[in-house]
Amino acid sequence: MSKDIFRERERVEEDAYFHRVDADLIAKLRQNAQLSEIAHTLAEKLHADEPALLERIQKLGVTLDTGAAFILAPLVDVAWADGDVSHAERAAILHIANQRGVVPGSADHRQLLDWLAVRPPDDILQTALDAIRIGISVLTPDEAKQRVAAMIKACEEVAKAAGGLSGLLQLEGISRDEGAVIAAIRRHLAE
């Protein structure tokens, strides 16, 4: 009988911990916290609920110091869609990063600069989407849709920054390759 009481108490404490982690992540997302704060809280969520995904992230070399850059990896993927990153795309990503608290000279900023100079492996880009999807899964369906829409809007800003011939002709401003990457990001996050 006493073993059952201890097991039940352990289960209740574990449930309370998972609930607190989810509540912390929800609060950070709702208040549009700095990306580094969201990354730290997301790491706690992954540690509690998705340890295999957290291990994958760590094996890719992502740390808490580069977590904000990791959350911005979909933007980097869009920038690389055409095979290289234009100055305007780079500036757009760094501007978005700065708005979300990524400070020039920080580990996150340096990581973004590295990824903008040399395309990151597909594993990083795919794993970032997996982690972001887990992060937004704690939100209500409407809030999750808003988060996905915000990510897509940021991706579109990066794509439109490139301009190119379609920009000169005042067309959509997003290349076919960029559009395909954005559509894949949307599908993955909406799963």
pLDDT of residue 170: 39
pLDDT of residue 140: 85
Q: pLDDT at residue 190 above 60?
A: yes
Is residue 38 within 8 A of residue 28, CB to CB? The reply is: yes
Q: pLDDT at residue 176 above 60?
A: yes
Domain extent for 76 = 2-190
Q: pLDDT at residue 158 above 80?
A: yes
Q: What is the pLDDT of residues 91-140, one digit of tens each?
A: 999 999 999 899 999 999 999 999 999 999 999 999 999 999 998 888 88
pLDDT of residue 68: 93
Reported as type and span, the H/E element at residue 92 is helix 87-99
pLDDT of residue 2: 59
Range picked from 14-28, 41-55, 113-127, 171-185 for highest mean pLDDT: 113-127
- Identify the DSSP state of 106: S
Q: pLDDT at residue 169 above 60?
A: no
Q: pLDDT at residue 143 above 50?
A: yes
Query: Any residues with CB less than 8 A from the CB of 18 and at least 6 apart, and which?
Result: 48, 49
* Mean pLDDT of the region 52-60: 93
Number of domains, the chain? 1
Average model confidence (pLDDT) across the chain: 84
pLDDT of residue 131: 94
Q: What is the pLDDT of residues 77-93, one digit of tens each?
A: 999 999 999 999 999 99
